[in-house]
Every structure is written in structure tokens, then in C-alpha cells.
Amino acid sequence: LRYPIVQAPTNGPAGPELATAIADAGALGAIPLTWTAPDAALALVQQVRAATKGTFFANFVLAVDPPFDPRSFDNALEAGTPVVQFSWGIPSAEHVRKVRAAHAKFGVQVTSAGSARAALDAGADYLVCQGIEAGGHVQATRPLMEQLVEVLDEVRRVRAGVPVLASGGISTGRDIRRAMARGAAGAVLGTRFVATLESRAHPEYKRALLAANGHDTVYTTCLSKGWPNAPHRILRNPTFTMWEAAGCPPAGRRPGETDVVARDGDTSFERYRTRAPLASMTGAVMEMGTYAGMGVGSVRDLPAAGDLVRRLWREFQQGKA
Ligand SMILES: Cc1cc2nc3c(=O)[nH]c(=O)nc-3n(C[C@H](O)[C@H](O)[C@H](O)COP(=O)(O)O)c2cc1C
């Protein structure tokens, strides 16, 4: 890597074009594959590998229900992903054996000393410390800086030298500098890369990100169809405000639960589904999963992802953290 900058896996907006642009620029690209069919997983990894000399990882969320297709995982390795990044859990011995057999490396997203220790015991090559400021599904329960100090202490005790990346609410070079000044080896940015030219996010969603501030986000369990009981951070939207006005009722008693709010080709999406609005969708897309982190207030333009990586680095060098 030329820069200690990592693309967060953002399921939906992060297609192969975005991973390629980021990897080409010398940062670490991401291919989220948790909800990707085996053939498509194989094709995506092959496509990005062929398109860039840069580096990227394939991401799998472990605690999701229903679980990811193990054939997608096998195919990602077979297609030659150099790195796998797990979140929401600790990979099994079988996962680790397969990663090693493919001569790949792996990282694990953690949120505490306990999960850091479990990831290190499993043999993780690097850790991602996600804070509660993060957009999308939030594994964290506390602010990034509080958890980062704890995770770094645990790494020093258990296996000093393992890199720890900071994630959640990071949108500028100055934010990256602040996290690295605390001991992070680099930073993972999700929302910032959703607002780029190459991202597959719907134009309305991108525009909303540019207009929003951190206090427009909400940490909630509102959108649970497809991944129940997993907290997430979104921009307040009509689905959330309607549910909140009804007293935040549980699944089965939520207002408008069977409304079809958007479509993508032949697929229709009901309200409360855990899907981000994509350019390929039509309908009331802003009533879908308008995922955004608390750093959204610093997202004010739609650059090409490679230009953004270089700008983040310039800001990093100029910043006074
Ligand atoms: C639209 C969107 C989709 C996401 N999808 C995933 C995913 O598939 N897997 C995962 O581990 N994290 C996912 N996340 C969380 C990110 O990996 C990361 O933790 C978060 O974006 C960091 O916070 P930030 O958005 O403030 O930079 C997603 C986040 C967003 C915004």
C-alpha cells in the first residue's frame, strides 16, 4: 500500500469499479461478498484482480442470519483474493485454514479487548477497530477512541506489532491523522467512499450525504428485514420517522411493513429491508437504508475515488492533529 487508507466494505455501493479505483490509487480496496452468490463472488474477485495491480480484500460478515454461502467464501479465495476481512464475529478454525491454504492474509473487525484477544488467538494478521460513529451496521457499542486505546493495549499484551486500523466517522485526512496519533496503523473509510463517482449509490442518496451533518444520523434497529437485531446508523428518513412516531414497535407491528418502496429490475424491496439505495433502483429509494456515519458532515463533494485518496493524504500531511 502507498497510503494507510482502507476502503470499508459497504455492501451495495461498493462495486468492482470502486475497489479498483481505490486499489489503483495505492489504498486498500474492498469487495463485500456476504450477500453475493458463489458465481458472482468468483467473477468479482477475478474482475478486480485483472483490473488493478493494487491490493484489496474480500469481506464476509460472520454473524448475519441467514449466513453467507460458504461457496462464495471458497470462490473468493480460489479467484485469488489476497486478503479476507471478517466482521461481526471471529472466523472459525476452518475459515482460517482455508485462508492460509490460499496463502492469503486476514483481518478481523473488533470492538473491545475481549474481541481483540479472540481475533489474535485465531491468528489475525490485522485488526479493524470499529467505533459507534460508523455508518451501516454497527458492531461497536462505544466511541472509536475509547475502544481503540483498549484494543491497542490488548495487542501490545498479546501480540505486539499487529496493525490496528481505526474505523467509524472518519472522513478527512485530519481525522486519519488523529486516529494514527492515538496509535492506529491506518484508517478505514465507508461513508466517505460511498460519496464518490465510482460508487453505485443512488444519486439521491449521494446528494443526501453531501447535505447531511453528523446529527442527522441515528443509531437504531429500525431496518431489520434481512438482518434482524443488528444496530445500524442511517440518515433519518421517512421510514425511520414513521416508525419512531409509532413508538418504535417490534417487527410484525411496524407501520407500512409490507409496502414495496423500491425495485431493482425484477426484485422488489419492502420497507425496513437492510439495503442501501443504489443507482440501479427505482421508487422511493430514500425510504431504504440510508446508511451514513457520523463523519458525514465533512463529506461535501463527489470526487473520483482515486483523487479522494490522494487528497486525503495531502490533508493528512497538512493537518495539525
Ligand atoms: C452502505 C454501507 C454498507 C455497509 N456494508 C457493510 C458490509 O457489507 N460489511 C461490513 O463489515 N461492514 C459494512 N458496513 C460498515 C463499514 O464497513 C464501516 O464499518 C463503516 O462504514 C465505517 O464508518 P464510516 O461510514 O463512518 O466511515 C457498511 C457501511 C455502509 C455505510
- The per-residue pLDDT for 99 is 98
15 in ligand 1 pocket by Cβ < 6 Å?
no
Is 14's pLDDT higher than 80?
yes
31 in ligand 1 pocket by Cβ < 6 Å?
no
Give, using CA atoms, the residue closest to atom 12 of ligand 1: 9
Distance in angstroms between the alpha carbons of the first and the last residue of the chain:
23
Is the model more confident about 226 or about 148?
148
Is 321's pLDDT higher than 80?
no
CA of 304 to the centre of ligand 1 (A): 19
217 in ligand 1 pocket by Cβ < 6 Å?
no
- The per-residue pLDDT for 320 is 61
CA of 136 to the centre of ligand 1 (A): 5
- The pLDDT tens digits for 186-206 are 999 999 999 999 999 999 999
- The per-residue pLDDT for 159 is 97
- The pLDDT tens digits for 269-289 are 999 999 999 999 999 999 999
Which whole-number Å values give the CA distances from 59 to 131, 160, 168, in the listed order? Answer: 18, 25, 17
CA 72 from centroid of its chain's CA atoms: 18
CA of 4 to the centre of ligand 1 (A): 18
pLDDT, mean of residues 71-94: 98
Is 104's pLDDT higher than 90?
yes
For 10, which DSSP code? Answer: -
Distance CA 234, CA 223 (A): 9
> Please, what is the average pLDDT of the chain?
97
Strand 126-130 relative to strand 136-137, pairing: unpaired
Is 308's pLDDT higher than 60?
yes
- The pLDDT tens digits for 126-153 are 999 999 999 999 999 999 999 999 999 9
- The per-residue pLDDT for 63 is 93
189 in ligand 1 pocket by Cβ < 6 Å?
yes
Is 13's pLDDT higher than 60?
yes
Largest CA distance in the chain: 52
Q: Record the cell numbers describing residue 288, joined without a space.
A: 431504504
Is 319's pLDDT higher than 90?
no
pTM to 2 decimals?
A: 0.98
Distance CA 65, CA 224 (A): 11
Is 169's pLDDT higher than 60?
yes
pLDDT, mean of residues 116-133: 98
CA of 104 to the centre of ligand 1 (A): 22
Give, using CA atoms, the residue closest to atom 19 of ligand 1: 134
Strand 267-270 relative to strand 260-264, pairing: antiparallel
If phi > 0 it is left, if psi is from -120 to 50 it is alpha, else beta; for residue 299 that is beta
Q: Ligand 1 pocket test: which of 10, 86, 130, 145 has the largest number of ligand atoms within 8 Å of its C-beta?
A: 10
CA of 292 to the centre of ligand 1 (A): 8
